[in-house]
Structure 1
Amino acid sequence: MQFRQNSGNQSTSASIQHRPVLSEMSARSRDIFRTIVEAYVETGEPVGSRTLSRRLGQLTGGQLSPATIRNVMADLEELGLLFAPHTSAGRLPTELGLRLFVDGLMETGGLTEDERSSIDARCAAAGRSLPEVLDQATLMLSGLSRCAGMVVAPKTDRPLKHLEFVHLAPGRALVVMVTEGGMVENRIVDVPVGLPPSALIEATNYLTTRLAGRTLALGRDQILQELESERAALDALTKKVVEAGLASWSREDNSGALIVRGQAHLLEDVTGVADLERLRSLFAALEAKEQLLKLVEAAEVADGVQIFIGAESDLFGLAGCSAVISPYRDSQRRLIGAIGVIGPSRINYARIIPMVDYTAKVIGRILG
């Protein structure tokens, strides 16, 4: 499994800064720094020298005095890897410190068989309906990680195999679109009240004949021109059904679909009004789908999981959150979208990275 830091400007400068820092740190400094970060991930609280002395003694069997540890912590603070919140005697890792830990010191583990089975089962249960697969995968990731699960599905045009209109209720019909890869997408559209069943059948036959083997984008303009010039042998009601079906896909914006599940998990670490306001800004940005195309573009050039820590991403920086995101691709290695989790900066990166990576691969296999 591969994972990379994100490709934003800030992360590039950060990586240039921290690569020599790690090589210059002594084994003692690395042990102390690793222990501080691991304690922070567990508790979210500042770590003091006495606590570190006890933890290091349990881990290594040796004993460092609190005074020695304080000196090392001061050096790490000068390097920009730690900071002291308020007047606390303890230390917390900075965003640069978390990046150093993730890129150079963290050891990622594998998933348990139960976790793999759970991911496989939840994704497979959704069948081949792309929205349902993504929804189930996002819910599952949120539950396993105790973070908010997120999936970005960019607007794509894949060759169609079949398109069908199904009556739901007076004035309402379901448009079912099946791609050549077997993925299914559904839309509900408004149709004239009192529409006869024959009009839905005729609209289905008309669009399927003209769109089979072609993308919607390629066929749509030609069909609309044909309807406009009345070259299509359709009655007025059937023409309205065809136009409604085409419009149902045209209303999507270019940033694609976004699914976020488990936002309540982000509230678990909120300690005050300022934290709540930062989260509100994140939710507002997610609702507006700002920066989502940038995430998809970053995923497209990535070889594996990407990690965005705090200010490294405009989307997550204001809320002080981190995100672990992986692209998912079809069997031809074409990018379909990106899936991951959003959580506080102290998320358990070592556990979540393989979880996101495996889920992306499962989705890719289902897509075929």
Structure 2
Amino acid sequence: MTIERPILGSGPALPALDRRSREVFRQIVETYLATGEPAGSRNLSRMLPMTLSPASVRNVMSDLEVAGLIYAPHTSAGRLPTETGLRFFVDAMLEIGDINQDDRRSIEAQVRGAPGTRSMEQVLTEASTMLSGLSRGAGVVVTSKQDQRVKHIEFVPLEPTRALVVLVGEDGSVENRVLAVPSGLPPSALVEASNFLNARMRGHTLAETRAELERAHTSAQAELDALTAKVVEAGLAIWSNGDDDRRQLIVRGQANLLEDLKALEDLERVRLLLEDLEGKKDVIDLLGRAESADGVRIFIGSENKLFSLSGSSMIAAPFHDSEQKIVGVLGVIGPTRLNYARIVPMVDYTARLVGRLLGQG
């Protein structure tokens, strides 16, 4: 499993922490990830694999605080990791093994389902729902619509200068777009445009149809009158303008983010995160950054502008089609105290499983 993580621009390197500092820091982070609570020197001295007095622990904690790895929330005697500390822990100290058998069985049972009976969107929705349930965060998937295969297209007149374009995919999905048409266009031109495209699109993707018509431009122009040819061209182009129109975002399990809140500031953080998830374009842009990764990508807190206020994390991985072309990204969004060691292999395995299923389709 490959884990690709942003590199810290600055901060302490692992050799700068001696064994005592590493163990104290590890216990502070692991306490935070497990409970969300600060770790105090007295408890830490009991949890460490070495004999260290509370006073000695406090000295180590002071050094870690100066290094920017931990901080004291409010007037608490305990310490929590900073975002820099979490990044350091994830990059340099986190031990990630293989996915456990219970998670593997849960993923396979829900995502595999009955082969050949579900659309790509259904597979991805179930994957997002499953990740949400297992992680107790929000499951997210973004994928491209440009490769869906078309079953039918219809041009429906609305007004003298507008028509509705209805696109039905082989997976049962239906999309509508409003199209500007030349003034005075006869209804027969819309019927002709529908018939022309249906004869060539059925079973093909929009990209394949567009490429074919470009190759056969001369014959198409000869077959259609000028106005109908414009409608055909506009009908295809309306699905190719702008990345957002071609990107599908699936989010499941937002309600999980409201669980286990410990303070009013937690509620405010989750409110901001839910607002972030409503901003489709920003979430798609962030997930798109994981498309260039060779494996799992981890984003923590304000390392990206989307989570700068809510202090959240995302673990994401791309998935591929049968030709090893990246066709989307899936992952988990939640608080910075996600269980990284468990969720990273879970996301990695789900991405590979979804890729195999799509390759079979």
- TM norm structure 2: 0.79
**Pick aligned residue for 1:300 from 261, 284, 291:** 291
Q: Deviations over 1:39-58 (max 9, x none)?
A: 111110000011101112xx
> Are the aligned partners of 1:324 and 1:341 in contact in 2 as well (CA < 8 Å)?
yes
**Alignment-mate amino acid for residue 5 of structure 1:** R
Q: Distance in 2 between matches of 1:173 and 1:293?
A: 25
Q: Distance in 1 between matches of 2:36 and 2:277?
A: 25
**Alignment-mate amino acid for residue 29 of structure 2:** V
Q: 1:274 to 1:91 in 2, by over 3 A?
A: closer
> Are the aligned partners of 2:288 and 2:329 in contact in 1 as well (CA < 8 Å)?
no
TM-superposed CA distance for 1:280, in Å, is 2.8
Secondary structure in structure 2 of the residue aligned to 1:109: coil
Q: Distance in 2 between matches of 1:305 and 1:252?
A: 27
Match of 1:195? none
> Are the aligned partners of 1:164 and 1:176 in contact in 2 as well (CA < 8 Å)?
yes
Secondary structure in structure 1 of the residue aligned to 2:255: helix
> Are the aligned partners of 1:189 and 1:248 in contact in 2 as well (CA < 8 Å)?
no
Match of 1:51? 43
**Pick aligned residue for 1:76 from 34, 49, 64:** 64
Q: How many residues align?
A: 329
**Pick aligned residue for 1:90 from 78, 81, 95:** 78
Secondary structure in structure 1 of the residue aligned to 2:334: strand
Deviates more, 1:117-126 or 1:298-307: 117-126
Q: Distance in 2 between matches of 1:321 and 1:43?
A: 16
Q: Distance in 1 between matches of 2:321 and 2:90?
A: 28
- TM norm structure 1: 0.77
**Pick aligned residue for 2:103 from 115, 135, 157:** 115
Match of 2:139? 149
Match of 1:187? 174
- Structure 2 residue runs of 5 or longer lacking an equivalent are 155-163, 178-190
Match of 2:346? 355
Q: Distance in 2 between matches of 1:65 and 1:75?
A: 16
> Are the aligned partners of 1:29 and 1:72 in contact in 2 as well (CA < 8 Å)?
yes
Q: Distance in 2 between matches of 1:280 and 1:363?
A: 31
Superposition RMSD on alpha carbons, in Å?
A: 3.6
> Are the aligned partners of 1:157 and 1:215 in contact in 2 as well (CA < 8 Å)?
yes
Q: Deviations over 1:51-83 (max 9, x none)?
A: 101112xxx3x4211011111011111100000
> 2:18 matched to 1:31?
no
Secondary structure in structure 1 of the residue aligned to 2:259: helix
Q: Distance in 1 between matches of 2:131 and 2:265?
A: 27
Match of 1:134? 124
Secondary structure in structure 2 of the residue aligned to 1:342: strand
Secondary structure in structure 2 of the residue aligned to 1:150: strand
Q: Deviations over 1:131-172 (max 9, x none)?
A: 1011100110011111111111134336x4x51479xxxxx9
Secondary structure in structure 2 of the residue aligned to 1:350: helix
**Alignment-mate amino acid for residue 301 of structure 2:** G
**Alignment-mate amino acid for residue 186 of structure 1:** S
TM-superposed CA distance for 1:278, in Å, is 3.5
Match of 2:256? 265
> 2:201 matched to 1:211?
yes
Q: Deviations over 1:231-275 (max 9, x none)?
A: 559xx9xxx9x9999699569862611111111121224344444
**Alignment-mate amino acid for residue 9 of structure 2:** S
**Alignment-mate amino acid for residue 124 of structure 1:** R
TM-superposed CA distance for 1:205, in Å, is 6.8
> Are the aligned partners of 1:142 and 1:262 in contact in 2 as well (CA < 8 Å)?
yes
Q: 1:152 to 1:175 in 2, by over 3 A?
A: same
